[in-house]
Amino acid sequence: MSKTMSMNAGSSSLKWQLYEMPAETVIAKGIVERIGLKDSIFTVKYGDGEKFEKVIDIPNHDLAVQMLLDELINLGILKEFKEITGVGHRIVAGGEYFKESVIVSDAVLEKIEELSELAPLHNPANAAGIRAFKKVLPDITSVAVFDTAFHSTMPEVNYRYGIPKEYYDKYKARKYGAHGTSHQYVANRAAEIIGKPVDELKLITAHIGNGASITAVRYGQSVDTSMGFTPLAGVMMGTRSGDIDPSLFPYLMKKTGITDVNDMLDILNKKSGLLGVSGISSDMRDVIDAKKEGNQDAALAFEIFTDRIRKYIAQYFAVLNGADAVIFTAGIGENSNAVRSSVIDGMSWFGMKIDESKNVVGADGIISTPDSKVKVLVVPTDEELVIARDVERLKRMG
Ligand code: ADP
């Protein structure tokens, strides 16, 4: 038995989960928030519902990792560092270069940093996480798992934009997508639940969390996905606008007096979506509560949110020329029966019918009626587990 760490480094956060492998049991998990800011929050959950929390300034990812490893010893979760034999890192952008998970070499790390152009906020943080871990534990197997890899099977017709060809040739301006690990995991799980090989199924996977994307999966491979060059595109999300007419960019900059295009992008990434439309919160629970209290803006935010999901699902029925099942996952997809009902009830023409007695909070599996032509499922995602499994697989391959 050995322990594998699954890491997800964001620009100011570090989420991690420690597994006993190959048993796949989670021994501890936690998050470091507000890295680089005052009063960083360091949380560990372990053992029998035990929780450790500390508020302390953590200036960078290096120190966050060092502190995490030290605390694993202090809390008695590890006796010595070398019990951890592998670490997997979630990397947001793999570009056209990484089509699957790889063991991190110096060249791989360099390439990840080079790809920062595609994910300026994320890849540098991901690389910092890798370096930080390598510093403390230089000899363990370190694996990079890419959010974009699953979408590398998209055909050109779906990943190319209707812009001059040279922008693709010279600058690789194309759709890359995201949430690949999640879409892949739930597609495979759904096939198991349905009881058919994934390579005989056409599936539409809806990862609806704070970030959200929909993917068309044909015979186990991603053929189209709603996020684009970056995760800003596609459906409306917690704080991201999703698709908008790019002409709004110069127009809004002129009207608001914003002069830096990055400030405008920041508004579309961080102040739009549920938050922007409702004016209340990016959190779906708050939006639903406000809607129940009669808040019109919250009601509209909910409507736009579900409408955009419906439209993407409808598109993918066309891309796949029909589908066997629609799968909901992630924070909202797994937990909000209201969102699931709204999306599916509004497109019953496509042959989908939810069994409301199965569409409960905490649902797991098929939630459609037996006569529903297209099945509807809830499948809890587990990106951390996919990462840990990839570490194990690549470690064995050596
Ligand atoms: P992230 O993209 O940050 O990983 P998650 O997948 O954790 O996001 O999803 C977070 C979203 O899930 C939030 O909008 C939250 O309100 C929503 N959510 C969690 N539980 C519920 C629930 N019971 N009902 C509705 N929404 C929920």
pLDDT tens per residue across span 235-272: 999 999 999 999 999 999 999 999 999 999 999 999 99
3-state secondary structure of 132: helix
Provide the pLDDT confidence category of residue 397 given band limits of 50, 70 and 90: confident
Residue with more model confidence, 117 or 321 = 321
Report how far residue 282's alpha carbon sits from residue 210's, in angstroms, rounded to the nearest whole number.
Answer: 8
Report how far residue 356's alpha carbon sits from residue 342's, in angstroms, rounded to the nearest whole number.
Answer: 12
Q: Which residue among 122, 183, 332 has the greatest number of ligand 1 atoms within 8 angstroms of its CB, and so is best to mutate?
A: 332
Provide the pLDDT confidence category of residue 361 given band limits of 50, 70 and 90: confident
Q: Which residue among 183, 208, 336, 340 has the greatest number of ligand 1 atoms within 8 angstroms of its CB, and so is best to mutate?
A: 336
Q: CB within 8 A of 268, min separation 6: which ones?
A: 232, 240, 241, 244
CATH hierarchy code of domain 194-383: 3.30.420.40
- pLDDT in the model for residue 122: 85
Lining ligand 1 with CB less than 6 A are 209-211, 238, 283-285, 330-332, 335-336, 361
Tell the residue number behind the tokens 């510093």, with chain if given: 135
pLDDT tens per residue across span 82-93: 899 999 999 999
Q: What is the mean pLDDT of the chain?
A: 95
For the CA of 381, the nearest atom of ligand 1:
6
Residue 101 Ramachandran class (φ > 0 left, ψ -120 to 50 alpha, else beta): beta
Has residue 10 got a pLDDT over 90? Answer: no
Cα of 191 to ligand 1 centre, how many Å?
A: 24
Tell the residue number behind the tokens 């812009």, with chain if given: 163
Question: Measured in Å, how far apart are the chain's first and last C-alpha atoms?
Answer: 17
Enumerate the H helices of 79-142 as residue ranges.
106-114, 123-136
Percent of the chain with pLDDT over 70: 100
- pLDDT in the model for residue 73: 95
Amino acid at 241: S
So where are the chain's domains?
2-146, 194-383
Q: Give the dihedral of Cα atoms 71, 72, 73, 76; nearest 10 deg.
A: 120
Report how far residue 214's alpha carbon sits from residue 234's, in angstroms, rounded to the nearest whole number.
Answer: 8
pLDDT tens per residue across span 197-208: 999 999 999 999
245 is catalytic: no
Cα of 380 to ligand 1 centre, how many Å?
A: 12
- pLDDT in the model for residue 199: 97
Cα of 305 to ligand 1 centre, how many Å?
A: 13
- Quote the pTM value: 0.94
Report how far residue 155's alpha carbon sits from residue 143's, in angstroms, rounded to the nearest whole number.
Answer: 27
Report how far residue 318's alpha carbon sits from residue 335's, in angstroms, rounded to the nearest whole number.
Answer: 27
Cα of 208 to ligand 1 centre, how many Å?
A: 8
Contact indicator for 168, 174 with CB cutoff of 8 Å: yes
CA dihedral (75, 79, 80, 85) positive or negative: negative
pLDDT tens per residue across span 17-54: 999 999 999 999 999 988 888 889 999 999 899 999 99
User: What is the DSSP annotation of 51-91?
Assistant: EEEEEE---SHHHHHHHHHHHHHHTTS-SSGGGEEEEEEEE
Report how far residue 355's alpha carbon sits from residue 340's, in angstroms, rounded to the nearest whole number.
Answer: 11
Q: Six-digit token pair at 218?
A: 């044909």
Second-level CATH architecture of 2-146: 2-Layer Sandwich (3.30)
Q: CB within 8 A of 338, min separation 6: which ones?
A: 288
Q: Which residue among 210, 213, 270 has the greatest number of ligand 1 atoms within 8 angstroms of its CB, and so is best to mutate?
A: 210
pLDDT tens per residue across span 282-311: 999 999 999 999 999 999 999 999 999 999
Report how far residue 118's alpha carbon sits from residue 122's, in angstroms, rounded to the nearest whole number.
Answer: 9
- pLDDT in the model for residue 390: 96
> One of 57, 139, 147, 289 is an active-site residue; which one?
147
